[in-house]
Structure 1
Amino acid sequence: MPLNQIENVGFKSSNAIDRILAHHTKFLSFLAARVEDKTASEDILQSAYIKAIEHGSEIREKESTVAWFYRILRNAIADHYRKGSARTRAHDTYTAELPISYEPEIAQTVCACIGDVIRDLKDEYREAIEQVDLGGVTVESFAQSHKTNANNASVRLRRARKAVAKKLIAVCGACAEHQCLDCTCRRSQL
């Protein structure tokens, strides 16, 4: 339902919503100058409209409705960046815990089945394992080369690792459960 058809729930003045909606373009420009992209600006504005409807009774008698709404927008921008900062910190912590690459001497002692298992993965998982774990490419570089963000690349890599582990257990059995460092499966003896 369009905002101009919503009842003036909580607003002391029936014109308050109309005054806010009349400045839609100005509000969007205000947000666009302070937020990274148009979609985020539009999302923030929609959320601010909802907040204005919910808290319309908080407007003081002599306070300008437009000034009050700008205050809501400024708070929404701060919340937006605060949430983004928390996501970035969580991502940085997660990627710092990921191994950078396999050490060459470990790669020589690992089960011979790993190459076949990796080749049998779906392309997006195989590329993630080959480039990040085996090739030493950073998660951030991998993300850029695949036109995605680092968080999505980390998720893809984690899923790829789980797929490798699952396939190794199916192929190698007990060897895989012990991380294939002392491989005794039939494949290594061929």
Structure 2
Amino acid sequence: MGICMQQENELAQKQSLEVIWEGMSARIRKFILMRVEDSATAEDLLQEVFVRVHQNMSKLKNSERLESWIYKITRHVIIDHYRSRRSDLEIPETLSDPINLFVEPDTTSELAGSIREMIDSLPEPYRQALLMTEYEELDQKALAERVGISLSGAKSRIQRARKKIKDSLLNCCHFEFDHYGRVIDYWDGCCCCVSSTN
């Protein structure tokens, strides 16, 4: 009876891994390709990621965290790749310090250009509100006085402008957040972020 149950568990885990592979392998491959020197290396690392996923699946307590857990494994695989070859591998100029790059990717600065373009495309009242508060660092009261509206009107305008930018970004890109809600990685689903980051 125990052997039969173990075989059923192994079969379920194998099927689960196949579903994960189908759903995520293309995105993980793209994520790796952006950080290593060639596609053959990316394929090798992709295989290693899914080997580790298989080996550690039982450690995942919350299935809702599956995607971020797999990206965490992917980062570790990439870091291990550079650590193991550091002595004989010439690091590409774009990855001058790969260990730091992958542990704390500065995605906020990468997105800054795209966000500014989105702000510039907002209707004038919203564009003005965000530029004054985010770039000129005016507080909401100063914004209200400068544009001649009430404080509650200024707050409302800023909130609506931020929501428009957030909606544009979420429609354009996929974001990965840490447990504090900070963006730790993203990849574009269309072209809005490409022009600024390439």
Q: TM-score range by the shorter chain?
A: 0.3 to 0.5
Is the strand fraction higher in 1 or 2? 2
TM-score by length of 1: 0.38
Structure (1 or 2) with the larger CA radius of gyration? 1
TM-score by length of 2: 0.37
